[in-house]
Structure 1
Amino acid sequence: MKYCDECGNQLIEKACGIDGTMPYCQHCQKFKFPMFNSAISAIIFNPQKDKILLIQQYGQEDYILVAGYINKGENAKETLIREIQEEVHLQVKDYMYNDNEYYQRTNTLMHNYAVVVDSMDFSLTSEVDIAKWIPVGDVLKVIKQGSLAQSFVKRYLEKEYSYAKDIFL
C-alpha cells in the first residue's frame, strides 16, 4: 500500500511497536495495516458422509468446492450457510472448521469447512453450471488439480480418514 485509502496522501514507513515498520499516513495520523478479503469454502458431504458435492462455475471445466466472500457485517458461519443455500439450495445440518490459507491471486484469506447437509437433493442457481456428488475415494482425482480446493480436501481427508490413507491419497 503506497497511498492512504482515506485521504489519498502518500504513506511513509514508521515504527509501530512490536509490529515493526508499517505504512503510516501523516495526514490522518493512522497506521495502515494490510487489508485483504475473507471468504469461505465448503467440503460438502451428503448425510451418509460417503460423497462430496463438487461444482463447476462460470463456464469452467474444473470441479471445485462451493465458496464465497464474507460480506461486511457477516461472520464466517453465516456466509457458509448462505453460500450453500444460494448456490445449491441445501441446508447445513452440521459443520466443522477444517483449515485456512491465504490465496495471493485474489488477496483473500480462505476459511475452509467440512459440512454435512440434510439431503442429496440439490438444485442449482445461475452461479453454478454443474454440481455432482462424487464418492469420497474419487474426489482427489476429480477436483481441480493443484488447486486450493484440492489442498483443503486432501488435508481434511488426511486428518479425518487417516486410518484409510491408502484408499484416498
Structure 2
Amino acid sequence: MMFSPAVQLLDTPSPLAWRLFFVAGKLLLPAVEGAALAPVPVLDFEPTASSRHYLGRLDGLDCWAITLADVPDGWQPMALRAAMMQMPAPLLNLAVRAAQIVEWDRTHRYCGACATPTEHKPGERARVCPSCGQLAYPRLSPAMMALVWREGELLLARSPGFTPGIYSALAGFVEPGETLEECVVREVEEEVGLQVSDLRYYGSQSWPFPHSFMLAFTARWVGGEIVPQAGEIEHAAWFPLDGLPGIPPRFSIAGHLIRDTVAAMQGAAS
C-alpha cells in the first residue's frame, strides 16, 4: 500500500476514505468483534467533529484524522498502543501520523509566546498566532535507542513502567547541543554505568507516545559494570543470545533491533 502525504485535499475527494477517529486520545474501532478499520464514506456524526486533518492518500484513498467529543454508537475506543498491535504496517504508520497530528493540534491551541488563541495556517501543517505571528509546527522529540552488545550477549533493561517480564534496549532523549552519538554514549553511562564504542546506526521510527522520533543504534561494550540508574532502570543484565527474556513485539523498532541483532551475531558466530 502506497502512502502519499499531503496537508490539504488537492483533488476530488475519494468516495471512500480512511477515517481515523479519536476521542480523548484513543482511537475508535468498529464495535463489532473481529472488525477492523476499513475505508468508509462520510458518516452521519462526522459534522460534529471538533477537528479534521487531511493526511494524504493511501492507495488512492483520502486519509483523515478526526477528533470527536464523544464516542458515537457502533464504535469503541481503544488505547493507541493496543490498536497498533493489531494493524498491518501501512495502517500502523497512518495511525502513528494521525495520532501525533491530533495531539499537536490539541496542545497548540494557544500561542506559547503571548497566549492568544492560534489558527490553522492555510497550506501548511502549522498553527499561527494572529497577534504575534508565532508559528507552531508538529513537534518531534528525537530520542536515541542503544542496544549494547559484547561477545555472545546483549545488555537489556526494563523501566518501572514496562509490561511485566519485558526487557528492551536503552533509550533516552537528545539534549540541546548534543549529537546523536554523544547522546548514545551519555545515556548508556547514565542509565547503566557502561562505556561503549563502535556505534552503528540501525534505523528509525516515529513513535506517538506522545511525539518521539526514535533513532536506533547498536553499540559495543568496552568497559564498566552494570549500575542501574535509580528511578529510571528497574533491572538491567547481560543475556545470552539464546536466553533472552521477553522483548517488545515487532511493531516497535526495539523489537526489530533486538531480533535482527541476535540474527546477525548468531550468523557471524556460525
Specify the TM-score bucket, using the shorter chain as the normaliser: 0.7 to 0.9
Which of 123, 126, 147 lines up with 1:43 in the alignment? 147
Q: Which among 124, 127, 147 is matched to residue 23 of structure 1?
A: 127
Identify which of 9, 12, 30 aligns with 2:119.
12
Asked if the contact 1:56/1:131 (under 8 Å) is kept, the reply is yes
Structure 2 SS opposite 1:142: coil
1:153 matched to 2:255? The reply is: no
2:139 maps to a residue whose letter is M
* CA shift in 2, pair 1:52/1:14, >3 Å: same
Q: Per-residue deviation at 1:45?
A: 0.7
Gaps of 5+ in 1: none
The Cα shift of 1:85 comes to 0.5
Matches within 5 A, 1:1-169: 1-15=108-122, 20=124, 22-46=126-150, 48=151, 50-58=152-160, 60=162, 61=164, 62-119=166-223, 121-126=225-230, 127-139=232-244, 142-145=246-249, 148=252, 149-156=254-261, 161=264, 164=267
**1:12 CA displacement:** 1.6
Shift in CA distance, 28/114, structure 1 to aligned 2, threshold 3 Å? same
**Residues 109-147 of structure 1, C-alpha deviation per residue, up to 9 Å, x if partnerless?**
1111111111473232313222122223454x6313356
Distance 1:111 1:4 in 2: 30
Greater share of residues in helix: 1
- 3-state DSSP class of the match of 1:84? helix
Give structure 2 stretches of 5+ with no counterpart. Answer: 1-107
SS of equivalent to 1:87: helix
Residue deviations 1:24-62 (CA, integer Å, cap 9, x gap): 11212233211132211111111x2x2111012226432
The structure-2 alpha-carbon separation of the partners of 1:77 and 1:21, relative to structure 1 and needing over 3 Å to count, comes to: closer
Are residues 28 and 156 of structure 1, via their aligned partners in 2, closer, same or farther at CA, if it must alter by over 3 Å? Answer: farther
Name the Cα RMSD after superposition.
2.7
Percent sequence identity over matched residues? 22
- Counterparts of 1:162 and 1:85 in 2: how far apart (Å)? 23
Q: CA deviation at 1:163?
A: 9.2
Whole-angstrom CA distance in 1 between matches of 2:206 and 2:219: 21
How far is 1:4 from its partner?
1.5
Report the Cα distance in structure 2 between the residues aligned to 1:162 and 1:90, rounded to whole angstroms. Answer: 20
Taking structure 2 as the reference length, the TM-score comes to 0.51
Distance (Å, rounded) in 2 between the aligned partners of 1:101 and 1:78? 20
Query: Using CA pairs below 8 Å that are at least 6 residues apart, which structure has the higher relative contact order?
Result: 1
TM-score (norm 1): 0.77
Give the superposition deviation at 1:90: 0.9
Q: Report the CA distance between 1:157 and its aligned residue.
A: 5.5
Q: Which has the larger radius of gyration?
A: 2
Aligned in 2, Cα 1:94/1:106: closer, same or farther, shift over 3 Å? same
